[in-house]
């Protein structure tokens, strides 16, 4: 009997289109003799499109409208053996959809509620990383209500970190709402921007100089494995939205051009982070590497990384000996095993 898979794509975050592209790749790659796949696209408004509308959205690349209310749409999920929530960012990668599927008793690919929520929140993730002894840049947190009531207290936290620093919404991804703040004169605008997206904001000291960016793929449940290390290089001040999503702006190097000890260190840190956040299935863990001092800092862990055939995560596994279709089939197996 074929395993019936429900592939969820699109969603309400800024990575709606990225998710649909990833879903197209997964659809093509899943061996049709083993799996029967149904795709449901979730619109930008959070509505669940039917089968026909979903196919249309897959070919047009986005769903701006249509669909039924989430709870009605989700009721069909019970007809499947496994759900693959190929959704990025808030309302998809942050434990919300994972909670719905857990309540429904349906196995799904990737981390559960706890791992998804904790990894998505930059402040929570940093607290967990600190407890696990992972090296990271100094940071401070602030609430929107504090920024309104006592802006000087928030400005003082920035002074404490020093400049340049980064200001980021705690829960967003894809670099939306993130600013690099070069001097105090730029701070208020950066905080106003970040707080327009989120109640909670993180301020982060910048690494000493522009870092190199290393990424590792993790695969597995209780006994996770780390892929080879990859590197992203780009010609921009930081890895912002445009650089991320404009074809040709960033280059992938697999394996990363770093000493073997550094690569080993990064893989070990990635596994520690994965376990500390209680992740399952898959994750891509991102690091900053400062070549001059030979130091490595963990940046973040993504529980549902970009998944097109040319995305970093599948490429890392390909270089580690697992083809794209083998990787997808393995993720389905891991979802069933977790159950
Ligand atoms: N503390 C930092 N020091 C140096 N560069 C940073 C720092 N924080 C973020 N960046 C740059 O900004 C990019 C986006 O930040 P990140 O926290 O990864 O946001 P997102 O979750 O949206 O991907 C990073 O890939 C890096 O280029
Ligand atoms: Mg990032």
pLDDT value, residue 218: 98
pLDDT in tens, the chain (339 residues): 899 999 999 999 988 999 999 999 999 988 899 999 999 999 999 999 998 999 999 999 999 988 998 888 888 888 999 999 999 999 999 999 999 999 999 999 999 999 999 999 999 999 999 999 999 999 999 999 999 999 999 999 999 999 999 999 999 877 789 999 999 999 999 999 999 999 999 999 999 999 999 999 999 999 999 999 999 998 888 888 888 878 788 899 999 999 999 999 999 999 999 999 999 999 999 999 999 999 999 999 999 999 999 999 999 999 999 999 999 999 999 999 987
Instruction: Give the residue whose CA is nearest to atom 2 of ligand 1.
Output: 206
List the strands of the sheet with 179-181, edge to edge.
139-143, 200-205, 165-169, 179-181
CB within 8 A of 61, min separation 6: which ones?
17, 20, 21
- Clarify whether residues 88 and 20 are in a common domain: yes
| CB 239 near ligand 1, within 6 Å | yes
User: How far does residue 18's CA lie from ligand 2's centre (Å)?
Assistant: 14
- Clarify whether residues 217 and 184 are in a common domain: no
| CB 177 near ligand 1, within 6 Å | no
pLDDT value, residue 239: 87
Least Cα distance to 12 among 85, 119, 99, 121 occurs for 85
Residue 113 is assigned to a structural domain of this protein? no
Q: Which of 185, 205, 225 is the last residue of a domain?
A: 205
Residue 235 is assigned to a structural domain of this protein? yes
Q: Which residues pair with 19 in a beta bridge?
A: none
Report how many domains make up the chain.
3
From the CA of 173, the nearest ligand is 1
Task: Provide the angle, in degrees to the nearest 10, between the axes of the packed helices 324-338 and 312-319.
Answer: 100
- Clarify whether residues 12 and 59 are in a common domain: yes
- Clarify whether residues 214 and 325 are in a common domain: yes
- Clarify whether residues 318 and 298 are in a common domain: yes
Q: Residue 265 corresponds to which tokens in the numbers above?
A: 């260190």
Residue 29 is assigned to a structural domain of this protein? yes
- Clarify whether residues 129 and 263 are in a common domain: yes
Q: Which of 153, 174, 205 is the last residue of a domain?
A: 205
pLDDT value, residue 289: 98
Least Cα distance to 44 among 23, 20, 64 occurs for 64
Q: Which residues pair with 88 in a beta bridge?
A: none
Which residue's structure tokens are 């959205």? 57
pLDDT value, residue 314: 97
Q: Where are the alpha helices (DSSP H) in 132-282?
A: 144-149, 151-161, 187-197, 241-245, 260-276
What is the CATH classification number for the domain harbouring 147?
3.30.1490.20
User: How far does residue 15's CA lie from ligand 2's centre (Å)?
Assistant: 13
- Write phi, then psi, for 203 (nearest 5 degrees): -110, 135
User: How far does residue 166's CA lie from ligand 1's centre (Å)?
Assistant: 8
Q: Residue 195 corresponds to which tokens in the numbers above?
A: 């707080």
What is the CATH classification number for the domain harbouring 74?
3.40.50.20
Dist. CA 100–CA 136, nearest whole Å: 33
Residue 15 is assigned to a structural domain of this protein? yes
CB 108 within 8 A of CB 83: yes
Instruction: Give the residue whose CA is nearest to atom 10 of ligand 1.
Output: 238
Closest ligand 1 atom, residue 176 Cα: 22
Residue 114 is assigned to a structural domain of this protein? no
Q: Which residues pair with 282 in a beta bridge?
A: 219
| CB 303 near ligand 1, within 6 Å | no
CB 8 within 8 A of CB 76: no
| CB 129 near ligand 1, within 6 Å | no
| CB 175 near ligand 1, within 6 Å | yes
- Clarify whether residues 123 and 258 are in a common domain: yes
Residue 162 is assigned to a structural domain of this protein? yes
- Clarify whether residues 78 and 16 are in a common domain: yes
Answer positive or negative: Cα dihedral of 256, 287, 239, 137.
negative
Closest ligand 1 atom, residue 206 Cα: 3
Dist. CA 121–CA 210, nearest whole Å: 24
pLDDT value, residue 75: 86
Least Cα distance to 97 among 7, 178, 24, 17 occurs for 7
Asked if residue 237 has a cis previous peptide bond (ω within 30° of 0), the answer is no
Give the structural domain span for 293.
Answer: 119-134+210-338
Asked if residue 143 has a cis previous peptide bond (ω within 30° of 0), the answer is no
Residue 144 is assigned to a structural domain of this protein? yes
Q: How far apart are the first and last CA of the chain?
A: 19
- Clarify whether residues 170 and 200 are in a common domain: yes
From the CA of 125, the nearest ligand is 1
Instruction: Give the residue whose CA is nearest to atom 1 of ligand 1.
Output: 206
Pocket perturbation via mutation, ligand 1, pick of 88, 201, 238 by most ligand atoms within 8 A of CB: 238
Going by their DSSP bridges, the two strands 212-220 and 165-169 should be labelled as unpaired
Q: Residue 129 corresponds to which tokens in the numbers above?
A: 């990383």
CB within 8 A of 108, min separation 6: which ones?
82, 83, 84, 85, 98, 101, 335
- Write phi, then psi, for 63 (nearest 5 degrees): -125, 105
- Clarify whether residues 26 and 93 are in a common domain: yes
From the CA of 241, the nearest ligand is 1
What is the CATH classification number for the domain harbouring 249?
3.30.470.20
250 sits in which H/E element? strand 250-253
pLDDT value, residue 176: 82
- Clarify whether residues 148 and 58 are in a common domain: no
User: How far does residue 174's CA lie from ligand 2's centre (Å)?
Assistant: 7
Residue 76 is assigned to a structural domain of this protein? yes
User: How far does residue 19's CA lie from ligand 1's centre (Å)?
Assistant: 20
- Clarify whether residues 123 and 269 are in a common domain: yes
């Amino acid at each position: 009997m074929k395993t019936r898979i429900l592939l969820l794509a699109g969603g309400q975050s800024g990575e709606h289109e990225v998710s649909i592209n990833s879903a197209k790749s997964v659809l093509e790659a899943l061996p049709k003799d083993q799996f029967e796949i149904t795709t449901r696209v979730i619109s930008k408004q959070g509505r669940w499109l039917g089968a026909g509308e979903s196919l249309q959205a897959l070919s047009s690349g986005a769903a701006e409208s249509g669909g039924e209310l989430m709870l009605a749409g989700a009721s069909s999920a019970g007809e499947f053996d496994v759900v693959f929530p190929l959704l990025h960012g808030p309302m998809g990668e942050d434990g919300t959809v994972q909670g719905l599927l857990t309540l429904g008793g349906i196995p799904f690919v990737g981390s559960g509620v706890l791992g998804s929520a904790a990894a998505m929140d930059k402040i929570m993730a940093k607290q967990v990383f600190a407890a696990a002894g992972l090296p990271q840049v100094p940071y401070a947190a602030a609430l929107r209500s504090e920024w309104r009531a006592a802006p000087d207290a928030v400005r003082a936290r920035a002074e404490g970190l020093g400049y340049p620093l980064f200001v980021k919404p705690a829960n967003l991804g894809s670099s939306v709402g993130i600013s690099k703040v070069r001097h105090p004169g730029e701070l208020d605008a950066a905080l106003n921007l970040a707080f327009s997206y989120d109640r909670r904001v993180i301020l982060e000291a910048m690494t000493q100089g522009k870092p190199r960016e290393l990424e590792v793929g993790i695969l597995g449940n209780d006994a996770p494995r780390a892929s080879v290390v990859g590197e992203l290089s780009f010609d921009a001040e930081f890895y912002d939205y445009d650089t991320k999503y404009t074809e040709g702006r960033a280059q992938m190097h697999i394996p990363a051009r770093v000493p073997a000890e550094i690569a080993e260190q990064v893989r070990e840190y990635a596994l520690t982070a994965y376990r500390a956040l209680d992740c399952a299935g898959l994750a891509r863990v991102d690091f900053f590497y400062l070549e001059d001092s030979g130091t490595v800092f963990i940046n973040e862990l993504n529980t549902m990384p970009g998944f097109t055939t040319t995305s970093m995560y599948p490429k890392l596994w390909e270089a580690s000996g697992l083809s794209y279709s083998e990787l997808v089939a393995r993720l389905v197996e891991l979802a069933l095993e977790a159950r």
